Amino acid sequence: MVEVPCRRIMVVDDDVFILEVMEELFEPEGIDVVTAESGDACIAELEKGFRGVILMDIMMPRKDGWETIEEMIARGLMDGNVIAMLTAKDIPDAKLEHLKEHVIDYITKPFEADEIVTIVKGYLNYLT
C-alpha cells in the first residue's frame, strides 16, 4: 500500500509577518497551512482535529510555546503531531528538558526559506 504523506502544517506565532511568510513558502508546495497567533489558538485548532507538523514559536505572550506543549500533553492532543520549535532563542532552558521527547526539532530564526521547507517536508513524510 502506498502511504500518502501528510500535507498539513500549523504555524503558531504571535508575529503575523512570520505567519504570512510561512503561507507564502508552503502553499505553493501544495501544503495546507493553518495559522495560530497564540498557544490558545493552537489548542483550539487541535481540538477541532488538526493533525500534522506544528511549527511552534517559543516566545509568545500569555502562553509560550513550551506551556502550549504542556497543555497539549495534559489534554491528550499530542498523538499524530510532530512538533518543531521555531525560535530566535538559541539555547532552550534546561528546565524544559522533560519536554524533549515531544519536540523533534529546533529551528532557529532567521532561517533560510529552502532549508525550512526541506526540513518540514521531511517531517510531513513521518505522518501519513
Partner 1 sequence: MENSAPPDRDGRTIVVIGSSTGGPRTLETIFSQFPLVDATIVIVQHMPHYINSALCRHLAKTCLMEVRIGEDGEPIEHGTIYVAPSDVHLKLVGNRTIRLFNDEKVKFVRPSIDVAMTSLERNSDDRFVGVILSGMGSDGAEGIRHIKAIGGTTLAQTLRTCAIHAMPRAAFETGRVDQMLPPEGIRERIIRIAGIL
Contact set with partner 1 (CB under 8 A) = 78-80, 82, 85, 91-92, 94, 96-98, 100-108, 119, 122-123, 125-128
Which residue lies nearer to partner 1 by CB, 97 or 112? 97
Which residue lies nearer to partner 1 by CB, 18 or 78? 78
Kindly state the smallest distance separating residue 27's Cβ from partner 1, in Å. Answer: 23
- Give the chain's length: 128
Kindly state the smallest distance separating residue 8's Cβ from partner 1, in Å. Answer: 16
Sign of CA dihedral 50, 55, 58, 60: negative
Kindly state the smallest distance separating residue 100's Cβ from partner 1, in Å. Answer: 4
Looking from the CA of 103 toward its CB, the CA atoms found within 13 Å total 23
**H or E segment at 8?**
strand 8-12
Which residue lies nearer to partner 1 by CB, 15 or 92? 92
Burial 9-26 (b: 16+ CB within 10 A, else e): bbbbbbbeebbebbbebb
Kindly state the smallest distance separating residue 73's Cβ from partner 1, in Å. Answer: 11
CA-based angle 115:52:41, to the nearest 5?
100
Which residue lies nearer to partner 1 by CB, 37 or 104? 104
